[in-house]
Homo-oligomer: A and B are copies of this chain.
C-alpha cells in the first residue's frame, strides 16, 4: 500500500524543504510514498529544474496550479502557502485527505488573538503539530488536520516547555530569538537583499508586534493556569537558516541548577530529536542545520535569580517542513523519525 503526497507552494522555502525531505524519506525509496502534485502560484507551468536547482531529481517535473483539482485525490496535502490561503483550499478538499498546514491559519485557538494579530476572520484551529508537547503526539496520530507550529514558537516552546510544565519559573518570560534570513520567505524585497542582510544584525516586529507572540503564549499556557507575561524580540542575523532562542524567567522559589537540569533531561528523555547538551556547552544553529534536531541548554543565573534556557533549531526543518513530515509520519503510521535527520550539516 502506498500513500500519495502533494505539496502546495512547492517553490517557496518551506515547500522546497518539504520536497527535499520527502525525496530522502525511506518510504519514497521503498515505494510506500509517492510524490504527486507539486503546485505553486505564478510559476505554474515551469519546470522545477529552473526553480529549485538543488533538487535535480525533480528537474523535469512541471509545476501545476494550486487548486482543489490538482491537490485533491492525494492522501496527504502539505500546504506551504502565505498566511490566509489555507482555509479556502482546505474546505474544498475531501475529509479523508490529510492536510498538514505550514501556515498560521489554524494555529491559534483564540479568535480574538487571531484577529488582533492577523487582521482577518478566524478560520478555526486544528491539532497543533508539535509532537513533543504532552498529549499532542496522540492527537496528531488521530487527526487528518494538523497546523504545523511557527518557527519561532517551535524554538521557544522547546526551550521553555519543560520549565513551565514543572513549575521551575514564574510566568514572566523574556525571549530573544535570532533567526536566519530564510524565515522571511522567498519574495523580492529591498530590505532582504543580500547587500542589506549580510554583515548585519537587527531586531524587527519588536515590543509585542510579532505574530508568533500569541502562539508562544498559547503553547506555554497549556502547562500553567496563571497569565503569561511574554516579551518576544525577534532578531535577524546574517545566515540562511537557523534560530537560536534565548529565554529567561525568574526562578520559582527553591529551584536550583541541579533540579533544572534533571527536569529537562527527564522531560526530553524519550525524544529522539532533542538533545539536552552537557553542562558547559551551548547550542549552536550550525549543529542542527538541515536536520530535525533541537539542541537545548538550561542554566541557573544565581546572581540574577533567573533560569536561562537556550535552544537551536533549523527554522525550515524542525521549524517548518521537518515538523510537518514528523506529523505526517505519525498520521500515516510511519516511524515518527523516518526521513528526518538528527545530524546537522556542519561546518
Contact = CB atoms under 8 A, between A and B. Distances in A.
Interface of A: 13, 16, 20, 23-24, 26, 29, 49-50, 52-57, 59, 174, 176, 178, 180-182, 184, 186-190, 192-204, 206-208, 213, 229-231, 233, 235, 237-242, 244, 246, 248, 275, 277-278, 281-291, 293, 295, 297, 299-306, 308, 310, 312, 341-347
Q: How many copies does the complex hold?
A: 4
A201 B229 CA distance: 26
Contacts of A192: 193-195
A231 B248 CA distance: 8
A299 B206 contact: yes
A26 B23 contact: no
13 contacts: A49-B278, A54-B345, A180-B195, A181-B198, A194-B197, A194-B238, A199-B286, A203-B283, A230-B303, A235-B244, A237-B237, A290-B290, A345-B345
A52 B345 CA distance: 11
A26 B26 contact: yes
B194 A301 contact: no
Contacts of A240: 194-195, 198-199, 347
A197 B238 CA distance: 11
Contacts of A244: 201-203, 235
Contacts of A343: 20, 23-24, 54-57
A301 B346 CA distance: 36
A16 B202 CA distance: 20
